[in-house]
Amino acid sequence: MSVPESDAEPEAPSPELFDKIVNLAKRRGFVFPSAEIYGGFRSTYDYGPVGVLLLRNVKDAWWRSMVQLRHDVVGLDAAILSPPQVWEASGHLANFTDPLVDCTKCQSRWRLDKLDDPDVCPSCGARGSFTEPRAFNLMFKTHAGPVEGAGHEVYLRPETAQGMFVNFANVLNTSRKRPPFGIAQIGKSFRNEITPGNFVFRTREFEQMEMEFFVPPDEAERWYGYWCDERYRWYLDHGMPSHLLRLRPHDADELSHYSSGTSDVEFLFPWGWDELEGIANRGDYDLTQHSKHSGEKLDYFDQATGERYVPHVIEPAAGATRTAFAFLIAAYDTEEVRGEERTVLRLHHRIAPYKVAVLPLSRKDELTGPARDVFDLLAARWMVDYDETQAIGRRYRRQDEIGTPYCVTFDFESIDDGAVTVRDRDSMDQERVPIAELVDHLAQRLT
Ligand code: ATP
């Protein structure tokens, strides 16, 4: 594979960084604990006014690269609720389990494969106190309609991928795409995780960005390498520094039985390397399984060669919520400016929640009126914040902390000269730009 792996093992970011990010997320409106006025609902989170923009930008950036800019990938938005037959065929009913152990001393529950030492309870420190592991199915089950019980069970999807497989024939017949081609989807998934945690890293409700790329069997290996390269590069292209990113091929004993190759894009979280995305060469497992269970033909007839085959699948599967969190960590920076500490999120402009903030120097009507006109001018094109409270220095700091690349200040001179001050988040340089040229000026920098 042509993607370089990080050779030097860099220091993990400090654990204090984790607390700083969680604090900033709450304080600035990125992420709130869910149902907080009722004491919170464990490991469930709500995205606030700034967080919803960050998350949306991560998803939009993914969609842009994976669907908009590609002639060979189409989109899909499949249902979250699905009948047991889907999960029977996919293998999730039988195999989507984690090994659960209970500590007989303190009654805490753990996922065995995630324990540092499988004999020691991290909660009370007891040794050899665990029960035998039980296979715990991670799918949320509910029932459709007013009657509970057998025949009415449905599942919340634990991944978006199956929506693409069960719609393979529909998409093939309607989109005029032929292998190699892909179906992409972004949406919520649900897993009854035994040990959710690390803020939004592992939650029971989360968002995924997945793509199933269907290829002729003899091209699978080449496309697997291609997608590993592409996906690794996507994070770099959106501002992740290479020393916090690596592509890790799975060892043979980590591979699922149907996979002939899987690599994870990993990020150096404050607790160490952990997964952002998995890229897997899944062979013909999924289409074959659904064909067997549904009785429908899920193959492709190549008129050029006269060959009929079941396409093989390369799947890049990423987490949107987890990736948004990683972008926050990677972007967090502090520096001293004139004896004061400045916190700044150096987010790539595509990921930054707001692209611009419009700030009238004071709350006087003669400034706020025209400043709102500047807001209207820019808001037609970008997500723009408007803030007229507090001293200008404090407002700059707030925008730095939420990663806004540019602040536009309308001052008393602006009334006469028709120009505004544009301040750059990273360098803090300021320049005077005529309002008539403002859109072009920003567009050149926000492409
Ligand atoms: P893990 O080993 O961390 O449980 P996984 O290998 O089971 O994850 P996949 O099934 O490959 O994960 O899912 C694809 C992506 O979806 C993951 O790389 C991750 O970014 C995201 N994801 C999976 N589970 C969760 C979760 N509980 N919370 C947030 N994101 C998740």
With a 6 Å cutoff on the Cβ, whether 263 touches ligand 1 is no
Q: What are the backbone angles phi and psi of residue 443, rounded to the nearest 5°?
A: -60, -40
Q: Choose among 378, 380, 435: nearest CA to 411.
A: 435
Looking at residue 5, its pLDDT comes to 44
pLDDT at 19 over 70: yes
Partnered with residue 211 across adjacent β-strands are 184
58 lines ligand 1 (CB under 6 A): no
* pLDDT tens figures, 282-315: 999 999 999 999 999 999 999 999 999 999 999 9
Q: How far is Cα 371 from Cα 361, in angstroms, rounded to an integer?
A: 9
Segment 49-67, tens digit of pLDDT: 999 999 999 999 999 999 9
Q: Which tens digits make up the pLDDT trace of 24-43?
A: 999 999 999 999 999 988 88
DSSP letter for each residue of 139-156:
--EEESSS--STT-EEEE
Verify whether ligand 1 is closer than 6 Å to residue 209 (CB atom): no
Residue 176 is classified by DSSP as: -
Q: Which neighbouring-strand residues pair with 308?
A: 301
Who's near 195: CB < 8 A, 6+ residues apart?
Answer: 109, 110, 111, 114, 202
Ligand 1 pocket member 385 (CB < 6 A): no
Instruction: Kindly give the distance from the C-alpha atom of residue 250 to the centroid of ligand 1, in angstroms, as a whole number.
Output: 15
Q: Are 80 and 157 in contact (CB under 8 A)?
A: yes
What does the alpha-carbon distance between residue 215 and residue 68 come to, in Å, rounded to a whole number? 20
Query: What does the block give as tokens for 342?
Result: 């400045």
**Is it the case that residue 1 has pLDDT exceeding 80?**
no
Residue 104 CB contacts under 8 Å (≥ 6 apart), including other chains: 129, 130, 131
Q: Is the pLDDT of residue 369 over 80?
A: yes
pTM, entire model: 0.94
Calpha distance 38→436 (Å, rounded) = 50
Kindly indicate the confidence band of residue 7, based on its pLDDT and cuts at 50, 70 and 90. very low
Going by C-alpha positions, the residue among 271, 244, 266, 90 that lies closest to residue 166 is 90
* Per-residue pLDDT band at 190 (split at 50, 70, 90): very high
Token pair recorded at residue 54 = 């960050």
pLDDT (0 to 100) of residue 257: 81
